[in-house]
Amino acid sequence: MSYRLLPRVLWLLVLTSLTSAQSSEQRTQAVGSRGRDLEYRRQDDRWLRVEPAGTFEVDSEVVSVRFAPGVADLAAFRERVGADFEPLDLVRSNRLGIVDLRVREGSDVLAVVAALRATGLVEYAEENTLGRWISDPNDALYSDQWSLKNTGQTGGSFDADIDADLAWDLGGGLPSVVVGILDSGTEISHEDLTDNVWINPGEIPNNGVDDEGNGFIDDVYGWDFGNGNNSVPGPFWHGTSVAGVVGATTNNGMGVAGVAGGFGNGDGCRLMILGVGDSAPSGAILDDAILYTADNGGAVITMSLTVGQSNSIDNALDYAWDTVGVFTDCAAGNSGGSVGYPARHDKVVSVPATDDQDDRPSWSSQGPENWIAAPGVDIRMPTTGNGYHYSSGTSFAAPHVAGVAALLLSALPALDNDSLKEILKLTADDVGNPGFDNQTGWGRLNAHAAVQHALDNDCNQNGVYDPDDIANGTSADANANGIPDECECTAPSNFCVSAPNTAGAGALITSMGSQSVAVNDVTLAATDCPPGQPGVFYYGPNTTQIPFGNGFRCVTGTTHRLPVVYIDGIGVARFDFDLTTAPNPGGIQPGDLWHFQYWYRDPLSGGPSTFNLSDGRTIPFCF
């Protein structure tokens, strides 16, 4: 059997095994590079590799290869197997002859590894895994906190958690971020809380004077509005537990870890304690506690309570969100029915609960007001008497969200509450019905994804969340929002849809490589073309974008044809170009915006002379 024939068949299998949503129960066995039997588990759109030391996510982008004797390098490998392996691009190599290859986006990485091994031209081919820093906190009860890191320790599902440990790799809570705990009071002397309790910077303790003139005497740690005094501990455990979820001191060798508790030495977010009732919350004083938080430096408010609707509370919530910019969340409720108040207020993020399998418990309230779900079943938390316990309820889901809000504000202090709310939506793990649903809102909270998203969208590191900027390598304000844009290139985007053939498919353009003019390595690829049919890439400059219609392109104005197009036997057309010389005569200039489309003959659409178009691909280029 020729080497050219075998890879062609294998690559056809690889290219047709595009990742899609599959059952998290899908499992397979495979042989590792040293003959080890390995177990793999499919979870949504990723593979997990199960090993005795733990479960690791498989890297979907890069595979590692050591070529067999007689195969000098990737070029020699390609010469032997033919062009069918062209989608594998060289990332790096080392002096031991180990080569890292980038897998084409959308391919099943395990199928790629199998295809490489089957050529007989490699000593080994193996997938890689995404590991984790050995930086789990040393809190004695951290292993009980499935909500922060779920390894299945409670019988739940692996990774049905908020990925707090990964978020902490990006940064913990900071003392500059103050979270108002509007609850039954908090035991501020608790060993796991005392280092992160807010201290009013303008108040001199116990001098009987309202030093900073805010209307409250000796409000050093906050205020007990129910009893009208500065004694904030309260007799009921509920507020102590809520505060602990947000900001228990992390990595202090004792107790539990808080979502935004820092990483030891009292460097976490600060907990402003506002009592709003001893045994039950009082609507008459809730508005006052909201105003206190907003007026005294609070950036986040979390409420794990429900009361009857009130105009006074409505006004206070509007003021906190609109005027001061305080992010506010509230437990959705535990009735299993409609979302409670104030969670259903439009200036409040309503938080339902999930369990350790990412399911909604039947008692978690549901409705269109729900925004994002968070763990709320069997949560390990501090309690009064310097102790710890488990409890369940949306009461303990809401402070998870507040903690992540504090992490986001620690990462980007200028983040406004509307953007923060949107980030939570965009980065949630969709655990209920696809998209929004009344039970889990936009999905279950993901701390790591949220913080990473915020940092990624401050691409010029000026501390401003700016996702809409179009990078052009200059100091221009591309989206006219008053913020200069000096970032890396934005992702390419589609601007029109391919005309489907009679089989219901049209070609899709993807682009690979850097869009930086200095790097010069862009590749265009059109997939799902009829194999062997002639075709050509068209491109046009900054022109008006119109839908496909009466002719052969989506872009108007002057268009050009790229001179070299390779069409393989499995329906992939490719063009590689150097930005300094192509595709435009004279090369691409920083700041250019070009539109690309692929024209090809398509017998399925009505005869040998019938043509079809791919989708359109817009690529902005930068320095």
Pairing outcome for strands 222-224 and 178-183:
unpaired
- Peptide bond preceding 583 in cis form (omega within 30 of 0): yes
Answer for the pair 378, 366: CB distance below 8 angstroms, yes or no: no
What is the Cα–Cα distance from 227 to 223, expressed in whole angstroms? 9
Computed over its alpha carbons, how large is the radius of gyration of the chain?
28
84 flagged as catalytic: no
Strand partners, 617: 494, 596
**Distance from C-alpha of 451 to C-alpha of 124, rounded to nearest angstrom:** 37
Q: Which residue of the set 159, 183, 288, 356 is catalytic?
A: 183
Query: What's the half-sphere exposure (Cβ side, CA atoms, 13 Å) at 345?
Result: 27
CB 549 within 8 A of CB 570: no
Say if CB 530 and CB 574 are below 8 A apart: no
Q: Which residues pair with 42 in a beta bridge?
A: 47
Output the CA torsion sign for 222, 226, 230, 232.
negative
Pairing of strands 379-383, 387-391: antiparallel
For residue 222, the one-letter residue type is G
The DSSP annotation for 150-199 comes to: -SSTTS--TT-S--HHHHHHH----TT-EEEEEES---TT-TTTGGGB--
Catalytic residue among 190, 238, 453, 595: 238
Residue 190 designated active-site: no
Tell me, yes or no, if 312 is annotated catalytic.
no
Unique residue bearing structure tokens 């390098």: 73
In this structure, are residues 110 and 47 in contact, taking their beta carbons and an 8 Å threshold? yes
Q: Is the peptide bond before 603 cis (omega within 30 degrees of 0)?
A: no
Residues 6+ apart with CB under 8 A from 337: 365, 366
Tell the burial category of 308 from Cβ atoms under 10 Å away from its Cβ (0-12, 13-18, 19+): exposed
Q: Which one-letter DSSP state was computed for residue 447?
A: H
3-state secondary structure (DSSP) of residue 319: helix
Report the C-alpha gap between 514 and 435 in whole angstroms: 32
Residues linked to residue 484 through DSSP beta bridges, in sequence order? none
CB 343 within 8 Å of CB 330: yes
Give dist(CA 399, CA 381) in Å, integer.
Answer: 11
**Strand pairing report for 54-67 and 46-51:** antiparallel
Calpha distance 310→306 (Å, rounded) = 11
The answer to whether the beta carbons of residues 445 and 453 sit under 8 Å apart is no
Which residue is catalytic, options 241, 304, 395, 516? 395
| Nearest residue to 485 via CA among 497, 495, 477 | 477
- What number of other Cβ atoms are within 10 A of residue 1's Cβ? 6
Q: Which residue is associated with the tokens 């005027």?
A: 323
In 94-165 the beta strands, taken as DSSP E runs, fall at 98-102, 122-130
Per-residue CA distances from 218 to 205, 231, 362 (Å): 6, 10, 44
Q: How far apart are CA 229 and CA 252, in angstroms?
A: 31
Catalytic residues: 183, 238, 395
